[in-house]
Structure formats: C-alpha cells, structure tokens
Amino acid sequence: MNLQRKIFQIIGTLLFILVVLATLLDVSNMKLEPIWETNAYRLDDGWTLTIDGERRQIDFQLPTVLRSDRLTGKTVVLSRTIPDDVRHLNSLMIRTSQKSVEVRVDGERVYLYDGNLDARRLKILGYLNHFVWLGDHAPGKELEIVTVANDPRTSETFYDVYIGSRVSQIVALLQYDGFSFLFGLLILLTAAMVSLLTFTLFRKLEIRKSALSFAGIEFCAGLWIISGSMSTQLIIHNQLVLLVFGLVAMFLLPYFLTSFVINMYRIPQSKLLGRIVLVFPYGFIVISSLQLMGILTYYDILTPSAIILLSYLVLLIFFSFRAYLRGNSAVKQFLIAISCLMASVVGELVLLLLPFMTLLNALILNLGIVAFGTVLLRQVLVLVMKFVERKGKEEYLLSLAHTDGLTGLSNRRAFEERMDGIRKCSRLIHPIGLMVFDVNDLKMLNDKEGHAAGDALLREVARQLSRWFAQTGDVYRIGGDEFAMICDPCNTASYESIRKEIASDMLVRAKDPARFSLAFGEALFTPNGEFVSIDEVFAEADARMYRHKMEMKNGFVR
C-alpha cells in the first residue's frame, strides 16, 4: 500500500511539472496587451486663458488660483493643443468645483456638464472629477475647456488636467489619494466588526456601551475620510452624497466621542457634556432643513462647523485632563488619542481655509485619525481582556463549586440546581429520565484495602457512567457512594435501550467478584404520567435503587 501511494505521488508530481512547463512555453509565445498602455499625463503648461472672450494669459500654468478676478458667472476658456507625440491620449480627466463644464475638440463639443443652479433646490455641486472621451484621433487637435463658475469661493481656482487612457487616469486617481479610500474602508470595517461584537460577544459585558460608542467613532472617522477621497467618486458619482456623508461624520463624531468618554471614564462633568453635545446632531437636522428650504448650503457652514467642533474638542480635552489630574489614570490613553484627532481636525480646518493645493487628502490627516482609533481600540480590547480574565476566574471558581474533586463529575450542588430548574418549569413539554446508582461494598473495600482503593473504585465508576451516558444525559456524584443521571430532554427509546444495557452489564458484573457492581433505580417523568413532580420521580428512582440493592444482597439479581 505504501509503495502504491509513493508511485501515485511521483506520477502526480511529474504531471504537475509537465502541465506548468507546457503552460509557460505556450504563454511565452503570446503577445498580451498591457492593462494600460501609457501613464496619465498632466497638462500643466501651454494653456491660453480667455475670460468672456478676452484673452488674458498665454502659457497659463495649472493648477493655480487667480487672485485678481472675480469670475462668478463669467465664461472662462482654457485652450491648448493636444500633444501628438504620445500614444493613447483618448481620454481627459478634469477636476472642478461648483462649475459648469464644456469640452470642445477643434470647436466640436464632446462633453457638457450643466452646473446651472437656478433650477436646483440644493444650490451645490461640489468638487468633481469629469472623465471626457476624446476619441482616438484627438492628438494634435485644439482642446478647449469652457467653465462657468457659480460660487465666488471657487470661481478663481483651476485644478489639474490629466490626459491619457481611461484606465491610466483611474490609476492616477487611485495613486493620488487611493490610500485615503483604503484607510476609510479599513476604519469602516473596524466599526462594523466592533458593532457585531457589541451585539454578540460583548452583549452582556460592562464595556458594551463603550464599545458601541467606539464603533460609532470609527464609523464617523471612516465616513469622514471616504467622503473626502476623490477615489470614492469612482463608486459614488453624486458629490452631494459625499458631502452629506462628511457632514454626518462631522456632526455625529462629537456625540459618539462624548458617549465614549462618559461610559468609559465616568468623568465628573458627564451630565454637562451629555447636554452640550446634543447641539451637534440637532444642529445637523436644522442645517439640513435650511438647505432644503434654500436658505443656505452645506458649504456655508463647513468652516463655522469645523471651528465649533474644534472648540468642543478643546472643552472635552480640558474636562478629561482635569479628571486625569484628579487621579483617573485611565483617561491618559484617551488624551493621547484625542491629541491625534485634534491634529486631524486642525488639518481639515486648514484644508477648508487654504487654497486649492491643500484640498488634497493629506496622508497626515488620515494617519492622525487612524492613530486616534487605534489607541482607543487598544484600550477597549485591554478592558475586554481584563473582563474576560475576571469572568474566566469567576467561572472557574463556579466550576469548582459545582464539580466533585475526586471524580470530576458534577456534584450534589449542581444536581440540586438542575433539579430546581426542572421544578420551576411551568409545564412539562418532553420526558425527563432519572437514574440513581449506589456502589456496592464500597465501605468493605475501604476497610479492607484502604481509602485509596475506594477512591480508585469511585473514579472507575464515574468513568463507566460517563461512557454509558455520553450521548444520553448528565452524570452527578450526589453522595459518598451514590451517583445520579438526568436525561433531559429524554428520548424514551434511547433511554430504555441504555437501561437494558446497564441491567445486562450489572448481571454480568454480579457474577465476577473482581469487578464493581452497582445497584440502580430509575423512573421516567412524562407529560400526563403517574408522577406530578420531579421530586416524586427522584423518590421513586431512589426507592427502586434500594430495592435493587437489597435484592443483590439476598442473591437475586434482576
């Protein structure tokens, strides 16, 4: 058999090697086109700037911010020749904010994005990526990008323009801030995992509320990062949706953060902070209502909201630091984490206040949020491990209290608690079987050979009973030489089969003095049966056991 197995292994290995070699030789003769043929090129120079038909600049550079003109409502044209010395320049990627966009090639329109807000309830467009198909014959032709801005704050800002294949532009976009998208997804995944643990493993733990608040914090942090990532627009094209996601994260973050501090650290000002923080979720509802009524837009409140959030975080840090100075050492980890978050908020505030170049998703911003979540997650996990360790010790001690030290079976206390549980059942649904056993001649063995021999016999009896009832019921040692078995729920056919097996085995053992023997009695508690309580069942099984014992002493074995 071993020789045959080795032959099969050798043949199988040789066949695998031959298949691999044949595949490699075949593929080596194939010419495969790459996934993307070129890189995406930035068209950052050589532009001509025209405003309302008046040529303003030649060799205009992108990206840039014009400080001298208010361009809201004006027609701005950027034009240049498409390079003809590079292959696969058939797609254009343009970034705009709050602008209508039209793209022309040799005067022919190839793309139009209507940014007119007059007919829109929500007066907001957002920061967008436009992917424009130019065609395979575009190189060498005149390219015109026509924009009309509708917001003074972004009218003078002009972003990068990329040209290349569509795939290469997507790759460039992912390289640009794909790490932000990845960070956001990982944080959202962490939030989902912690939420799942909160409603399963942590459901009865003291740390449950803190863990749930932490999941909320991670959810807001992940949503915040993803909503600001340009790569997210490859999946969610509506910029307004992403803006709402970001604002939801901004307004809910202080609520979950405060809830975490209150539940985790019990700082003295918990009630005060709990009232103040309600300003944020209620504020979001009010601001959303005002936007729906056309009174303001989310963009109008971005900077003030960030400043208010920053101020609240300072207040939260102040109260937490004061609690730390007063001896609450657990707050130290939170202070470290909140420092990372503060750096992130300051970074976000800078992105909102400074020109276009800072609208890139800064790596330091994302790392700050990740560090913040990591520190808090570590603290949550440490507390969970401490709780599990403490719970394990409690369960171990409880197990000791319910376990017989000699045999390892459940003891009399465990038996009584099980009986009490049956007593409390309002109605019997299924049969319950109960057997009682008594070890014959244990006292004689102790007197003759010592207690060590008696203990060995009890352990042997326990092992045999455990084997008999491994699939049927639970075995207990309820006295010095007495054992019991409860079968709940009880399959009457299996119960009767095991009862006959025990009776047959006892008959064999009674004829062999070298083997132990047991006297046993049993009774079955069934719905609408002869017994009205589990105590009557136990009394009947016990009485039958004693009758059996007397019969065995008198030489009669049933």
490 belongs to a structural domain: yes
Query: What per-residue confidence (pLDDT) applies to 255?
Result: 92
**Do 211 and 303 share a domain, yes or no?**
yes
User: Which residue among 120, 140, 164 closes a domain?
Assistant: 164
Same domain? 325 vs 243:
yes
CA 556 centroid distance within chain: 67
279 and 387, same domain (yes or no): yes
pLDDT digits (tens, 9 = 90+) for 50-100: 988 888 888 888 888 877 667 888 889 999 998 887 666 778 888 887 778
Report yes or no on 518 lying in a domain: yes
Domain identity same for 159 and 185: no
**Is residue 21 in a domain?**
no
Examine the domain organization and report whether 242 and 290 are in the same domain: yes
**∠48-49-51 over CA atoms, to 5°?**
145
Pairing state between β 99-105 and 142-149: antiparallel
For the question of whether the overall pTM of this predicted structure is more than 0.75, the answer is no
Residue 16 reports pLDDT greater than 50:
yes
Domain that holds residue 76: 41-164
We report the CATH number of the domain holding residue 132 as 2.60.120.260
Residues 439 and 344 in one domain: no
Contact 263, 202 (CB under 8 A): no
Q: What is the pLDDT, as a whole number, of residue 338?
A: 83
**Quick one: 50 and 155 in the same domain?**
yes
Give the mean model confidence (pLDDT) for residues 352-357. 53
Q: Is 280 within 8 Å of 311 (Cβ atoms)? A: no
Q: Are 379 and 333 contacting, i.e. CB atoms less than 8 angstroms apart?
A: yes
Amino acid identity at 270: S
- CA 251 → CA 164, 270, 441, distances in Å? 39, 19, 78
In a domain, 26, yes or no: no
* Contact call for residues 362 and 180 (beta carbons, < 8 A): no
pLDDT of 152? 75
Say what the pLDDT of residue 360 is: 45
CATH number at residue 448: 3.30.70.270
- Tracing tokens 């909503």 back to the chain, one arrives at 227
Report whether pLDDT(108) > 50: yes
- Return left, alpha or beta for 164; rule: phi > 0 is left, psi -120 to 50 is alpha, else beta: left
Q: Three-class SS of residue 49?
A: strand
| Residue 221 CB neighbours (<10 A) | 27
If asked whether residues 358 and 383 sit together in one domain, one would say yes
Q: What is the pLDDT of residue 22?
A: 57
CB contact at 8 A, 469 and 475: yes
Looking at every residue in the chain, the average pLDDT score rounds to 79
Query: For 417-444, what is the mean pLDDT?
Result: 83
Could you tell me if 449 and 519 lie in one domain? yes
In this structure, which long-range contacts are made by residues 265-269, counting pairs with CB atoms below 8 Å and at least 24 apart in sequence?
265/320, 265/323, 265/328, 265/330, 265/331, 265/334, 266/328, 267/319, 267/320, 267/322, 267/323, 267/328, 267/331, 268/319, 268/323, 269/319
Q: What is the pLDDT of residue 78?
A: 92
pLDDT of residue 1: 44
The pLDDT of residue 469: 81
Q: DSSP label at 114?
A: -
Per-residue confidence (pLDDT) for residue 256, from 0 to 100: 92
Strand duo 64-65 + 142-149: pairing: unpaired
33 touches 47 (CB < 8 A): no
Do 329 and 207 share a structural domain?
yes
- What confidence tens digit (pLDDT) does each residue in 210-241 have? 889 989 988 988 888 888 777 777 787 777 77
**Per-residue model confidence as pLDDT tens digits over 394-410:** 666 666 778 888 888 88
pLDDT tens digits along 227-278: 877 777 778 777 777 778 888 888 898 899 899 888 888 888 888 888 899 9
Q: 111, 140, 164 — which closes off a domain? A: 164
Q: Does residue 501 form part of some domain?
A: yes
468-472 own/partner pairs: CB under 8 Å, 24+ apart:
468/498, 468/501, 468/502, 469/498, 472/433, 472/498
3 state DSSP class of 162: strand
Q: What are phi and psi of 29, to 5 degrees?
A: -95, 0
Residue 417 lies in a domain: yes
18: in domain = no
H helices then E strands: how many in the chain?
14, 16
Contact present, 335 and 320 (Cβ < 8 Å):
yes
Q: Are residues 211 and 261 in the same domain?
A: yes
Angle between helices 279-292 and 239-265 (to 10 degrees): 160
Task: Inform me whether the pLDDT recorded for 423 exceeds 80.
Answer: yes
Q: How far apart are CA 504 and CA 510, in angstroms?
A: 10
Q: How many domains does the chain divide into?
A: 3
Q: Are residues 160 and 181 in the same domain?
A: no
For the segment 129-183, what is each residue's pLDDT rounded down to a tens digit?
A: 888 888 777 888 899 999 888 777 777 788 888 888 877 777 777 777 777 788 8
How many Cα atoms within 13 Å fall on the side-chain side of residue 217? 27
pLDDT, one tens digit per residue, over 492-540 is 777 778 778 777 777 766 666 666 778 888 888 887 777 778 888 889 8
Residue 506 inside a domain? The answer is: yes
Give the tens place of pLDDT for each residue, 444-501.
888 888 888 888 888 888 888 888 887 778 889 888 888 998 887 777 777 778 778 7
d(CA 343, CA 339): 6
Q: Residue 491: how many CA atoms within 13 Å on its side-chain side?
A: 8
Residue 361: per-residue pLDDT: 45
Q: Is 9's pLDDT higher than 70? A: no
pLDDT of residue 19: 63
Give the domain-ending residue among 334, 358, 392. Answer: 392
CB of 264 closer than 8 Å to CB of 333: no
